[in-house]
């Protein structure tokens, strides 16, 4: 009997995937001042208003283009840094992710420049999701959901599995993209929170890779998580309060798209607790979106009409400064990411219980703090003030 091959240490496992982080970080740091200068020259600004955009002065847009450049460079670097070590299936998945991510970024960029109609914006998001469906990203949703049933349900008909997987892929891409878009409301909020989420994703992906290597999913999860982390941190240098540049929809949609891809790649593992853990890592934008929609619905407001119903708006209205509010969001994101990492190491039934307990605690906190009431808030202060 041949001797067992020793498992790589965590350092050996992660070392090749640090390159996407370093390259994405460097490219984003270099590109952000460039795209800011282009925005200033083209007079592409986010203009303040008295209702939804309380910053005191016009801030240049286009930061999302810099995030995209860093992210794409990080992903592309692995095609030549790991030509032999990157499995053909992983290369194929990365190619589809790059194509779909480019579509998502361009959709946000067009919305930043010409203010797309909601239907047109949704159509392009569906196209991006369709690319992932064509690339078979997110397969295995149905077996994961019914895996705890009788053995005969573990192998559903192929057509049914494909339909369900396609529907879930589209739903997750659109939901995650818009959730990060909605949380992009204060200096450094979306980029910092997404960076923390990337750390949580990377931790779960590394644990999963060490548990049992999957040539298709493991490398892609780690590459995307580290590349996105580098892009977020590189941009945060210019976006933290007081912000020099905003990411716009080009950035927020791209960040949410990448989170959706990683969630879908965890689905492919076929184990519910891995997916629940990843969902918990990403749950702060989801909870914020749910709070805003619930608050509007209970108060008879249009669900799709923007207002100051997000959790960060309510913290500002309670007297917290921008930096204090963002720091609270960072702590919440880190806590939820830690819980997500805990969820993956327990049995599935306990992971479901933990997930439901967190949701219940969030709901009780929202009720306790009166965050569903549509009170008349005091005039907001400029969001670039420390």
User: Concatenated DSSP letters for 174-226?
Assistant: HHHHHHHHHH--STTHHHHHHHHHHHHHHHHHHHHHHHS--TTHHHHHHHHHH
Q: Is residue 6 part of a domain?
A: no
How far is residue 284 CA from its own chain's centroid? 10
The pLDDT score that the predictor gives to residue 139 is 74
* pLDDT tens figures, 271-302: 788 889 999 999 999 999 998 888 888 877 77
161 inside domain: yes
Per-residue pLDDT at 215: 56
CB within 8 Å of 196: residues ≥ 6 apart: 330, 333, 334, 337
pLDDT at 148: 52
Please report whether residue 386 resides in a domain. Answer: no
Residue 146 included in any domain: yes
CA–CA distance, 386 with 384 (Å, rounded to integer): 6
* Domain-located, residue 12: no
Residue 3, domain member (yes or no) = no
Report the candidate in 66, 81, 131 with the shortest Cα–Cα distance to residue 104: 131
For residue 97, give the nearest of 71, 131, 65 by alpha carbon: 131
The pLDDT value recorded for residue 204 is 92
Q: What percent of the chain has pLDDT over 70?
A: 82
> 8 is written with which tokens?
């790589």
- Residue 329 CA to residue 180 CA, distance in Å, equals 13
Q: Tell the residue number behind the tokens 């905003």, with chain if given.
A: 246
pLDDT value, residue 45: 84
Predicted confidence at residue 73, as pLDDT, reads 96
Which of 160-174, 184-198, 354-368 is least confident? 160-174
Q: Among all chains, which residue has been given the structure tokens 């959706």?
A: 260
Nearest-angstrom CA–CA distance, 206 and 191 = 22
Confidence class for position 382, pLDDT limits 50, 70, 90: very low
**Owner of token pair 């204060």:** 186
Whether 124 maps to a domain, the answer reads yes
- Cβ neighbours of residue 274 closer than 8 Å, sequence gap 6 or more: 204, 208, 266, 344
274 contacts 201 by C-beta, under 8 angstroms: no
Could you give the number of structural domains in the chain?
A: 1
Q: Which domain holds residue 102?
A: 20-368
What are phi and psi for residue 45, nearest 5 degrees? -120, 155
pLDDT tens digits along 101-141: 999 999 999 999 988 888 999 999 999 999 999 988 877 67
Give the model confidence (pLDDT) of 331-374 as tens digits: 999 999 999 999 988 888 898 999 999 999 999 999 888 888 76
Residue 278 tokens, joined:
């990843």
Q: Is residue 382 part of a domain?
A: no
Tell me the per-residue pLDDT of 194-243, one tens digit each, with 9 for 90 and over.
Answer: 999 999 999 999 888 877 656 566 788 999 999 999 999 999 999 998 98
- DSSP letters, 249-292, are HHHHHHHHHHHHHHHHHHHTT--HHHHHHHHHHTHHHHHHHHHH
CB 222 within 8 A of CB 205: yes
Q: Is the pLDDT of residue 378 over 60?
A: no
Encode pLDDT of 40-95 as tens digits: 998 888 777 666 666 567 889 899 999 999 999 999 998 877 655 677 788 899 99
> For 299-334, what is each residue's pLDDT tens digit?
777 776 767 778 898 898 888 999 999 999 999 999
Q: What is the pLDDT of residue 370?
A: 86
Q: Is the pLDDT of residue 174 over 60?
A: yes
């Amino acid at each position: 009997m041949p001797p067992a091959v020793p498992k790589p240490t965590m350092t050996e496992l992660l070392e090749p995937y640090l390159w996407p982080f370093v390259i994405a970080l460097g490219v984003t740091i270099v590109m952000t001042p460039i795209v800011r200068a282009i925005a200033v020259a083209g007079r592409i600004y986010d203009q303040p208003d008295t209702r939804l955009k309380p910053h005191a002065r016009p801030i240049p847009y286009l930061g999302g283009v810099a995030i995209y450049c860093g992210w794409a460079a990080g992903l592309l670097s692995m095609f030549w840094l790991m030509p032999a070590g990157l499995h053909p299936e992983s290369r194929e998945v990365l190619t589809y992710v790059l194509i779909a991510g480019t579509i998502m970024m361009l959709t946000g960029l067009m919305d930043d420049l010409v203010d797309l109609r909601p239907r047109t914006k949704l159509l392009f998001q569906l196209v991006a999701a369709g690319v992932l469906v064509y690339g078979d990203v997110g397969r295995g949703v149905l077996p994961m959901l019914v895996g705890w049933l009788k053995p005969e349900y573990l192998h559903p008909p192929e057509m049914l599995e494909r339909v369900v997987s396609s529907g879930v892929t589209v739903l997750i891409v659109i939901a995650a993209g818009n959730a990060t878009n909605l949380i992009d409301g204060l200096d450094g909020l979306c980029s910092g929170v997404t960076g923390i989420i990337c750390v949580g994703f990377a931790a779960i992906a590394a644990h999963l890779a060490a548990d049992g290597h999957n040539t298709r999913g493991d490398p892609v999860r780690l590459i995307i998580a580290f590349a996105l982390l580098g892009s977020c941190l590189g941009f945060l240098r210019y976006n933290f309060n007081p912000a020099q540049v905003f990411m716009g929809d080009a950035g927020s949609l791209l960040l949410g798209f990448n989170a959706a891809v990683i969630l879908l790649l965890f689905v492919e593992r076929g184990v519910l607790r891995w997916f629940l853990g990843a969902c918990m890592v990403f749950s702060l934008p989801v909870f914020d979106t749910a709070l805003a929609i619930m608050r509007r619905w209970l108060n008879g407001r249009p669900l799709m009409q923007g207002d100051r119903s997000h959790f960060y708006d309510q913290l500002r209205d309670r007297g917290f400064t921008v930096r204090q509010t963002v720091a609270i969001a960072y702590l919440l994101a880190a806590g939820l990411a830690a819980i997500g990492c805990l969820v993956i190491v327990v049995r599935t039934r306990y992971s479901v219980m933990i997930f439901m307990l967190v949701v219940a605690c969030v709901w009780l906190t929202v009720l306790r703090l009166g965050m569903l009431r549509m009170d008349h808030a005091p005039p907001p202060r400029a969001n670039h003030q420390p």
